[in-house]
């Protein structure tokens, strides 16, 4: 079976570049769509408290542990065109980070004071996300190998398999613990079918590794990891504040009005990911003017998409929230429409995040890890202080406002440092 799947996944049409773009879009869409709707469906099927627990475990703490598992290495690995490290080096490094993610997740839950049921659900979701982080090492290698379509295919089929299994168990049994366990098992099967079996048949994938390379690889990427880890903490500071200060149902409701950020990031990802290789080539070849022009063009596209999203949210946000209430059932009447203003603030914050994400990748290509780390460290301190204060004072409105402020400040910092770096490189090039 694994052989047949591998053969199917490796098939491409006559236009490989087109296949790369289309499958990357499909994979990104499936992953983002699952993140958007799963919490909603759990709330509909299992109730608001269970929906809130799932939302926090899947989209917040589980995702934080995913970042620990994948260690922020994807941009580094995907842009390692000189093959400084072999795939085997990345793979064995990932074994260690995934184990670390599980250990940290278990430690956090032990100290959290959660009920036994909530702790089990959240830990199963940590395992699910750690497995997702493990799959990423294969999918990053597919991208580095020039086969981004394989990354998209794996993401698509793994998501469909695991999410479909989760929903089937939840609908038939109604038990969230068993549904999460089934999703974890399906995730493991998906990795074997759509990643491991494909990588073994792909030419140019070097499984050799040297344990002496683990420390240098860690040193080169640790600032990148800490930066991404802090980035997600900043992104989720409002959610952590809600989990600590409000009830589980509030986590569920905030996650629902947070859904548009996934749409915005999805659209931005469609634009950003396919051009990372060309941006890297331009920078490495010293074509700084062309690099700046390409970056500006992508920025305009993301800006236009963000304005469109904001206009739609202002005009259609309340009716959309009303429709979601009706889908959830009569018990939820008025529970979402009262959050129309926070909904708008979150969309504005999501637009800022999509914009800063582009400039984050630009700084990675420029190998400005220390700059990235400095920005994230400062914003993490701001988020740790500001989000709990605003949530305690204004509840969900305060959480949305805190999110917008953090994203706007972070976007401004990334843009300033990126263009300062480009100007500096161009001036140095003119002198030589």
- pLDDT tens for residues 377-410? 999 999 999 999 999 999 999 999 999 999 999 9
Write down the mean pLDDT value for the chain.
86
Whole-angstrom Cα distance, residue 29 to residue 33?
A: 6
Judge contact between 149 and 20, C-beta under 8 A: yes
Work out the end-to-end distance of the chain between its first and last CA atoms, rounded to an integer number of angstroms. 58
pLDDT of residue 338 exceeding 70: yes
Local confidence band at 131 (pLDDT 50, 70, 90 cut-offs): very high
pLDDT of residue 179 exceeding 80: yes
Taking each helix axis from N to C end, the angle separating 340-365 and 288-328, rounded to the nearest 10 degrees, works out to: 150
Q: Which of 280, 416, 262, 424 is nearest to 361 (CA)?
A: 280
Looking at per-residue pLDDT, the higher value among 106 and 292 belongs to 106
The pLDDT, as a whole number, for residue 365 is: 84
pLDDT of residue 1 exceeding 60: no
Name the DSSP letter for residue 57.
Answer: I
Judge contact between 187 and 132, C-beta under 8 A: yes
Average pLDDT on 303-310 reads 86
The pLDDT, as a whole number, for residue 301 is: 86
The pLDDT, as a whole number, for residue 4 is: 58
Helices (H) and strands (E) in the chain, counts: 17, 0
Whole-angstrom Cα distance, residue 242 to residue 247?
A: 7
The pLDDT, as a whole number, for residue 326 is: 86
The pLDDT, as a whole number, for residue 53 is: 92
Rg of the chain taking only CA atoms, in angstroms: 21
Q: With pLDDT > 70 as the criterion, what percentage of the chain qualifies?
A: 95
Give pTM, 2 decimals: 0.84
Local confidence band at 133 (pLDDT 50, 70, 90 cut-offs): very high
Average pLDDT on 100-115 reads 91
Could you list the beta-strand ranges (E) of 165-229.
none
- pLDDT tens for residues 192-219? 988 888 888 877 778 888 888 899 999 8
Local confidence band at 2 (pLDDT 50, 70, 90 cut-offs): low
Whole-angstrom Cα distance, residue 73 to residue 133?
A: 10
**Highest mean pLDDT of the ranges 84-88, 126-130, 142-146, 266-270:** 126-130
List Cα–Cα distances, 196 to 5, 11, 91, 340, 397, in angstroms. Answer: 11, 16, 11, 45, 45
Q: What's the gap between Cα 395 and its chain centre?
A: 25
Looking at per-residue pLDDT, the higher value among 327 and 137 belongs to 137
């Amino acid at each position: 079976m694994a052989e047949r799947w591998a053969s199917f996944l490796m098939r491409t049409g006559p236009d490989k570049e087109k296949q790369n773009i289309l499958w990357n879009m499909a994979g990104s869409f499936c992953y983002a769509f699952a993140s958007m709707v799963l919490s909603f469906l759990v709330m509909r099927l299992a109730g608001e408290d269970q929906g809130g627990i799932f939302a926090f475990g899947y989209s917040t703490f589980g995702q934080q542990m995913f970042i620990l598992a994948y260690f922020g290495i994807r941009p580094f690995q995907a842009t390692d065109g000189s093959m400084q490290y072999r795939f085997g080096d990345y793979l064995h490094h990932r074994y260690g980070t995934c184990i670390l993610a599980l250990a940290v997740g278990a430690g956090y839950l032990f100290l959290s004071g959660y009920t036994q049921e909530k702790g089990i659900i959240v830990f199963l979701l940590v395992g699910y996300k750690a497995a997702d982080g493990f799959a990423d090492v294969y999918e990053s290698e597919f991208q580095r190998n020039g086969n981004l379509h394989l990354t998209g295919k794996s993401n698509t089929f793994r998501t469909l398999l695991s999410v479909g299994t989760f929903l089937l168990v939840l609908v038939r049994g109604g038990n969230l613990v068993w549904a999460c366990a089934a999703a974890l098992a399906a995730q493991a099967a998906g990795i074997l079918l759509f990643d491991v079996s494909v990588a073994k048949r792909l030419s140019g994938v070097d499984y050799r590794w040297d344990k002496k390379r683990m420390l240098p690889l860690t040193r080169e990427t640790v600032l990148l990891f800490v930066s991404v880890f802090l980035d997600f903490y900043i992104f989720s500071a409002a959610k952590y504040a809600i989990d600590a200060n409000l009830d589980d149902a509030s986590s569920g409701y905030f996650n629902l009005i947070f859904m548009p950020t996934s749409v915005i990031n999805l659209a931005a990802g469609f634009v950003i990911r396919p051009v990372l290789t060309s941006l890297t080539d331009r920078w490495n070849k010293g074509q700084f003017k062309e690099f700046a022009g390409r970056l500006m063009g992508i920025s305009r596209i993301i800006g236009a998409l963000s304005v469109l999203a904001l206009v739609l949210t202002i005009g259609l946000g309340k009716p959309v929230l009303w429709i979601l209430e009706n889908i959830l059932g009569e018990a939820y009447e008025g529970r979402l429409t009262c959050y129309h203003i926070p909904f708008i603030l979150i969309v504005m914050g999501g637009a800022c995040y999509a914009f800063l994400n582009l400039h984050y990748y630009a700084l990675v290509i420029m190998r400005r890890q220390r700059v990235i780390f400095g920005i994230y460290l400062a914003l993490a301190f701001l988020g740790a202080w500001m989000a709990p204060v605003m949530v305690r004072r204004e509840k969900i409105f305060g959480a949305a406002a805190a999110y917008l402020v953090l994203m706007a400040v972070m976007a401004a910092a990334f843009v300033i440092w990126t263009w300062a770096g480009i100007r500096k490189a161009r001036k140095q090039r003119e002198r030589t």
